Amino acid sequence: MVDDGPEFTYEFYGRRGITSECFRHYGCQTKINREGKPISVGYHYPNGAVKIRDLEGKSFHWFGSPVPGLYGTDIFASGSNKYCVVTEGEEDAHSLWQVLRIPAVSVQSSSTARRDCVASFEWLSGFDRVYICFDNDGPGREALASVAKLFDVNRVYVVNLARKDANDHLQHGEVNELLNVWTNAKRYKPDNIISTFGEFEDALSKDTSKGVPYPWPTLTEMTGGIRQYETILVTAPEGVGKTEWMKAVEVQLLRETDDNVGAIYIEEPKEWHLRSLVGIEKGAPVHLPDQTISVPEQVDTLKNLLKRDERLFLYSHFGSIDPDALLDTIRFLVSACLCRYILLDHITMAVTGLAGEDERRALDYLMSRLEMMVKELGFALIVVSHVNDFGQTRGSRAPGKLADIRIDLSRDVLNADPIIQSTITQTISKPCRFTGRSGFAGSITFNSSTRKFTEVANDNAEWKGVANG
């Protein structure tokens, strides 16, 4: 009997306009039978799983367990080029790398596009521009919209193909055409224009008027509560108690909604913050060294407050942050982590390493981009700013001008009366864009032993004097 050799071989086999060199670059081999016929091709993913395409039946199956993420991120280092391109299929990535010689990666499918880009977000963030080249069909366009929101609009470029996908161009020998559509890619623009009765009805069906109540009735009455699509600016001099105020609002959002919440506290370690939330729930100063609440009990308290995993996303950073890095973080929290409320304490600290005109320009840029992002992505932003001796937002006047609601906090820290000293006056210092109201919005007292704020009754003359003073 004559041995005809192995039943199958595995080769870097050029096909569909893609060269063997390109397949070798991606480590992508084709299974070929004894007669020289290609049977299947295997796409190796970063975690070791292999997506196998049956070339006869055009079906797919996996060898190993797939995990969310992009194909090809292990081939190219993050930031190895100014640009990268994300496609909807592995062979589209091969095609574009062959033509462009820039990092080209692929989602696993249009239905998993957002999930895969979220999993590979850190890798994608290393590039100045992210080009999206999904299939020219309905699922591809839907996937494009879901992925584009993950990034600042100035970084996302859309490759509008004339054919169904990039490999279709390559199979037709249209290398120059493929190069041209990439060269002429435009920045992604969200579809912000509506014109039909159906679109109007959809818009009117969205109830954006009902806000989450603040922990204090008067402030809720003055503002209508905390609404998505709005920026709420909270101002205070140093030492008034703005951080405790923010935590009380944070706990209120966690209690009153099922939505995800992102918390960015630039001056506070994560463990301090978590103990503060436990303290509010337990009504005790859990953060102090002599506290007796065990760690397991603290964890249980947080579980009861949060209700589920991956609901509170806590970010802390000490010192100044590059404005674009902070913007990317907030966009990631909203688009990838699905946070509907973001608390930022505080914007002044974010650029504290700058001075003079540099600080003003950075704050102007940061606040204007934040306000644009709030309207684009539809979340609520509650942001703190320090004020100078004249009551103006420190470093820049942009926060006060751009915010939908401005809440000023004040406290008579030098008063000898401990009750008055612990009382914070809340004032809406410019008309709220939703209610049109401004002025006194209630006084609240903070009890350091129970970690709770209590609103002072408005009909008490003594407290009216404090409020108006």
Question: Do 180 and 221 share a structural domain?
Answer: no
Q: Which amino acid is at 202?
A: D
Q: What's the confidence (pLDDT) of residue 215?
A: 95
Structural domain includes residue 210: no
- Strand partners for 84: 130
Question: What separation, in Å, do the N-terminal and C-terminal C-alpha atoms of the chain show?
Answer: 106
Give all strands (DSSP E) within 64-119, no chain letters: 83-87, 104-106
Question: Do 404 and 363 share a structural domain?
Answer: yes
How does DSSP classify residue 221? Answer: H
CA–CA distance from 59 to each of 4, 56, 112, 302 (Å)?
Answer: 29, 8, 17, 46
Question: Do 318 and 270 share a structural domain?
Answer: yes
Domain ranges, residue 79: 8-187
**pTM of the prediction?**
0.79
314: CATH: 3.40.50.300
Question: Do 225 and 178 share a structural domain?
Answer: no
Structural domain includes residue 236: yes
Q: What's the confidence (pLDDT) of residue 57?
A: 77
Question: Do 233 and 110 share a structural domain?
Answer: no
Structural domain includes residue 239: yes
Question: The tokens of 55 are what?
Answer: 């070339």
Q: In what side-by-side order are the strands of the sheet with 405-411?
A: 312-316, 260-265, 339-345, 380-386, 231-236, 405-411, 423-428, 439-447, 452-455
Q: Which of 165, 187, 209 is the last residue of a domain?
A: 187
Q: What's the confidence (pLDDT) of residue 461?
A: 36
Give all strands (DSSP E) within 308-354, no chain letters: 312-316, 339-345
Answer yes or no: are the C-beta atoms of 66 and 108 closer than 8 Å: yes
Q: Which amino acid is at 54?
A: D
Using one digit for the tens of pLDDT, what is the confidence trace for 261-300?
999 988 788 888 999 999 999 888 887 877 778 899 999 9
Q: What's the confidence (pLDDT) of residue 270?
A: 87
Strands 439-447 and 60-63: unpaired
Answer yes or no: are the C-beta atoms of 67 and 145 closer than 8 Å: no
Residues of the chain with pLDDT under 50: 1-2, 459-469
The count of structural domains within the chain is: 2
Structural domain includes residue 104: yes
116: CATH: 3.40.1360.10
Question: Do 232 and 118 share a structural domain?
Answer: no
Structural domain includes residue 196: no
Q: What's the confidence (pLDDT) of residue 122?
A: 92
Using one digit for the tens of pLDDT, what is the confidence trace for 202-212?
877 776 667 99
Q: What's the confidence (pLDDT) of residue 208?
A: 66
Q: Which of 168, 187, 206 is the last residue of a domain?
A: 187
